[in-house]
Amino acid sequence: MNDNTAGIRAYEKVGFRLEGTIRQAVWREGKRWDILNYGFLRDEWLAKRR
């Protein structure tokens, strides 16, 4: 869910990229939340290791 800014920063720092958003997918605590989908391709991981 998109309220975890520290987690999002950590994912992006190691190379994960935002691939999509499922808007208002979760109902929690009386509020709708988006789900953010992150991915990291094998080629990107290998390039980052060099």
pLDDT tens, N- to C-terminus, the chain (50 residues): 567 899 999 999 999 999 999 999 999 999 999 999 999 999 988 998 88
The SS3 of residue 2 is coil
On the CB side of 3, CA atoms within 13 Å amount to 7
Q: What is the pLDDT of residue 17?
A: 95
48 in Cβ contact with 21 (< 8 Å):
no
Provide φ and ψ at 14, rounded to 5°.
-85, -5
Q: Which pLDDT score is estimated for 26?
A: 94
How many distinct structural domains can be found in the chain? Answer: 1
The model carries a pTM of 0.75
Domain that holds residue 30: 5-49
